[in-house]
Structure 1
């Protein structure tokens, strides 16, 4: 009996020690697809001793602010041009750990069924953050609606439009609000995470959309002081696994494309 009790106590101590030594990671993410992908890898990470705490955000600012201020360990929501612009404007030094997926950026409308139907003076809504605004304008140019002074400038603004044959009125709004104002504009260029949240199917509902070769891969982002931490490396490996590639393909059916 004593041996049984001793064995039980030893087992409990071992479990307790394991719980204490578990590495914890608090990661900010937008709901779709980022938080969904993180939730998918959570069980695999738990088996490796990493407790993943996913914090869902609805904006593109606080996830970076809270990582920079060490309130969170990492985030997963943004592409490289946005990260570079944020670091430059906010004086932060956040770094990419790994690329995970591409969300092809698309143009949506409830008023027209193809770009050619846009009338003279139509209102087109685009994100108001610099990198995504430039991305939206580049997509408008690729589809013959405008011409930019420098098509390669990822931070182009409406002031860089040199030809606008349909006299489109470009309206810059917060990215998260764009799905909600679709009925107020003729066309809106929407980040895929917000499109999916709004029950839009990018591969079916977008009038036109970026190809899978888009350079805007979404990144796992951390700080220089923790980007090489063992738990962060385990998370990066999990996000770049064959299982995640299969999960993305089956769940998003082309609306999200693996970047590895």
Structure 2
């Protein structure tokens, strides 16, 4: 009888561990690096964290909606909202974690004032990040938008273009690769870091730290409040996480907690 009780207790223990396993989709850097750093902390809390790497902005949400993963960590709310609207998904924000300022990079000029007439400027081709890129170009004086506060601005909303720049819209992951071929590229920090670009030293200009595009942990309505998810949120918003972000990324990302 004692052996049976011990076996049942062991079985229950393994079941509890399995129930607390979280599979989280993330961009390679900084998101996956942050999660990997938190694995030991979460293990002590009884959460086994399985980090799945994605190099695009579509599959992490598709996989989450299809319940192939439990959460993802790569996007900001405007992108998530647009994805839900266009795809009919119901992904929800669990918690804001950090701001990753957009930056404008160039391998041809050192100062935005030196951007030549008719220069080619590459920006992301998705609706939200494209609008965000145009807002940054407006802030830098490269163009003027009819409504600078419209996060969904398109090239049709450019009211003035004093340098006659040509806007080239490309998939966000491609932007670092085309940098030698264009005069300026507006790149998300995730892909800038992957390409070994340091936003604080290599960007000609950056968004301010008051950006409304905070990167967040996303989940589904059916699991956003699970005990394991709450433990993950606590870890992501812990002093250890903040210190890791500051030490590892040197101001390229800014915790919002």
TM-score range, shorter chain: over 0.9
Match of residue 197 from structure 2: 200
Aligned ranges for residues 234-249 of structure 1 at < 5 Å? Answer: 234-249=231-246
TM-score (norm 2): 0.95
Equivalent residue pairs, number: 255
Matches of 2:160 and 2:110, distance apart in 1: 23
1:42 aligns with 2:39: yes
TM-score (norm 1): 0.94
1:186-223 Cα deviation digits (max 9, x unpaired): 00000001101100010000000011111110000000
- SS in structure 1 opposite 2:109? coil
1:66 aligns with 2:63: yes
Q: Offset at 1:241?
A: 0.6
Match of residue 258 from structure 1: 255
Aligned ranges for residues 153-164 of structure 1 at < 5 Å? Answer: 153-164=150-161
- SS in structure 2 opposite 1:87? helix
Residue 133 of structure 1: which of 130, 141, 146 is its match? 130
Give the superposed CA RMSD.
1.7
1:161-192 Cα deviation digits (max 9, x unpaired): 01001000000000001000100000000000
Q: Which runs of 4+ in 1 moved over 4 A?
A: 6-16
1:22-44 Cα deviation digits (max 9, x unpaired): 11111100000000011111111
1:55 aligns with 2:46: no
Matches of 2:249 and 2:4, distance apart in 1: 47
Q: Offset at 1:17?
A: 3.7
- SS in structure 2 opposite 1:220? strand
Structure 1 residues 33 and 7, CA gap change in structure 2 (3 angstroms) = farther
1:19 aligns with 2:8: no
Structure 1 residues 207 and 69, CA gap change in structure 2 (3 angstroms) = same
1:230-258 Cα deviation digits (max 9, x unpaired): 11111111101111011111111100110
Matches of 1:211 and 1:7, distance apart in 2: 64
Structure 1 residues 91 and 8, CA gap change in structure 2 (3 angstroms) = same
Unaligned runs of 5+ in 2: none
